[in-house]
Amino acid sequence: MATDAPRPAMTPAHTITLDTPETPRRGHLPMGEPAGTADRIEITSRSVERGGDPTFPITGEIHYSRLPRERWDDALAHAKAGGLTSVATYVLWQAHEPSPGDFRWDGNLDLRAFVSLAGQHGLDVVVRMGPWAHGEARNGGFPDWLLTLPLTPRTDDPAYLDLVRRLYAEIVAQLEGLAHAEGGPIIAAQMDNELYDHPEHLATLRRIAEEAGLDVPLWTATGWGGAQVPDTLLPVYSAYVDGFWEDEHTDWPSFAPVHFHYSTVRDDLTVGADLREALDGVSVDDGAIALKDDSAVPFATCELGGGMHVAYHRRPLVTEHDVAALAHAKIGSGSVWQGYYMYSGGTQRVGAEGTQQESHATGYPNDVPTRTYDFHAPLGEHGQVRLHHHLLRRQHLWLHADGAGIAAMTSTVGGDDALRWAVRADASRGYVFATTYQPARQPLAAVADVQFAITLPGDSLPGDTVTVPTSPVSLPAGVHVAWPLNLPLARHTLRSATAQMLTRLALDGDHELLVLTATDGVAVELVITGEASVTGPVTTATVDGHTVVTLTEEPSETTVVDIDGTRILILDEASATRAYVLDVFGRERLILADQPVTAAAGDLVVHPEAPLTSLAIFPGAGGLAAAGGTAAMNPSPAADALAWSRWTVSAAAGPVALEAPGDLTATAPSPQRGGPMDRLSAPTAFSDAARVEVAIPASVVSGADRALLRVEWTGDVGRALRHGEVVSDHFWHGRAWDIDVTDGEDVTLALLPWSDATGVWVDPSVRPVPAGVSVRALTVHRIGRVTLSATEEAR
Per-residue pLDDT tens for 291-340? 468 899 999 999 999 999 999 999 999 999 999 999 999 999 999 999 99
Q: Identify the CA nearest to 194 among candidates 271, 93, 285.
A: 271
pLDDT value for 600: 98
What percentage of the chain reaches a pLDDT higher than 90?
Answer: 90
> pLDDT at residue 288 above 50?
no
> pLDDT at residue 565 above 90?
no
Say if residues 203 and 227 touch (Cβ distance below 8 Å): no
User: By three-state DSSP, how is residue 652 classified?
Assistant: coil
CA distance 241 to 339: 15
> pLDDT at residue 99 above 60?
yes
Peptide bond into 253 cis (omega under 30): no
Amino acid at 628: G
Say if residues 272 and 224 touch (Cβ distance below 8 Å): yes
pLDDT value for 1: 33
Model confidence at 464, pLDDT cuts 50, 70, 90, reads confident
pLDDT digits 0-9 by tens, 761-794: 999 999 999 999 999 999 999 999 999 999 865 5
Say if residues 366 and 313 touch (Cβ distance below 8 Å): yes
CA dist list (Å): 321 to 175, 325, 377, 687: 37, 6, 12, 40
CA distance 83 to 75: 13
CA distance 794 to 621: 5
CA distance 146 to 164: 11
Beta-carbon contacts of 458 under 8 Å, excluding residues fewer than 6 positions away, are 427, 428, 464
pLDDT digits 0-9 by tens, 201-232: 999 999 999 999 999 999 999 999 999 999 99
Lowest mean pLDDT among 49-53, 275-279, 317-321: 275-279
> pLDDT at residue 450 above 80?
yes
pLDDT digits 0-9 by tens, 106-121: 999 999 999 999 999 9
Average pLDDT along the chain = 94
Please give the average per-residue pLDDT across 748-760, as a whole number: 98
pLDDT digits 0-9 by tens, 421-449: 999 999 999 999 999 999 999 999 999 99
> pLDDT at residue 10 above 70?
no
Q: Identify the CA nearest to 197 among candidates 286, 299, 303, 94.
A: 286
